[in-house]
């Protein structure tokens, strides 16, 4: 069975969409026997899921208006 540190080193691969069956297997085997890592991985997973739901940072309306005007001018200047 892998050590706790080896598990930590595998977490990016484990949470990737293309995680290999072997990676999933060794991580899950470790988690089945290590309560501390289980809690840690659960909080790590929550962190990823919350971040993925973050909204975009809004632009200031004045900037959006200025940007639109600038792009219109750029389009008009094109040959």
Partner 1 sequence: MTPEQVVRDYAPRVYSIARRMLGNDADAEDVTQDVLLQVVRKLNTFRGEADFWTWLHRVTVNMALVHRQKRARRAEHEIPDPTQQFQDGHHVKPWAIEPEKQAINRELSGLLEQAIANMPEIYRDVYILADIEGLSNPEIGEILGLSVPAVKSRLHRGRLLIREALAPHFEEVKA
Residue numbers at the binding site for partner 1 (CB under 8 A) = 4-5, 8-9, 11-13, 16, 36-37, 39-40, 42-44, 46-60, 63-64, 67-68, 70-72, 74-75, 78
Q: Which is nearer to partner 1, 25 or 49 (CB)?
A: 49
Planar angle of CA 5, 38, 54, nearest 5 degrees: 95
Pairwise CA distance, residues 31 & 43, whole Å: 13
How many other β-carbons are positioned within 10 Å of the β-carbon of residue 13? 14
CB of 33 vs partner 1, minimal distance in Å: 14
CB of 4 vs partner 1, minimal distance in Å: 6
């Amino acid at each position: 069975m892998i050590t706790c540190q080896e598990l930590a080193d595998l977490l990016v691969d484990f949470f990737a969409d293309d995680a290999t069956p072997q990676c999933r297997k060794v991580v899950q085997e470790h988690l089945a026997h290590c309560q501390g890592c289980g809690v840690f991985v659960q909080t790590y997973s929550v962190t990823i899921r919350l971040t993925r739901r973050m909204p975009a940072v809004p632009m200031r309306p004045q900037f959006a208006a200025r940007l639109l005007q600038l792009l219109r001018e750029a389009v008009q200047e094109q040959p």
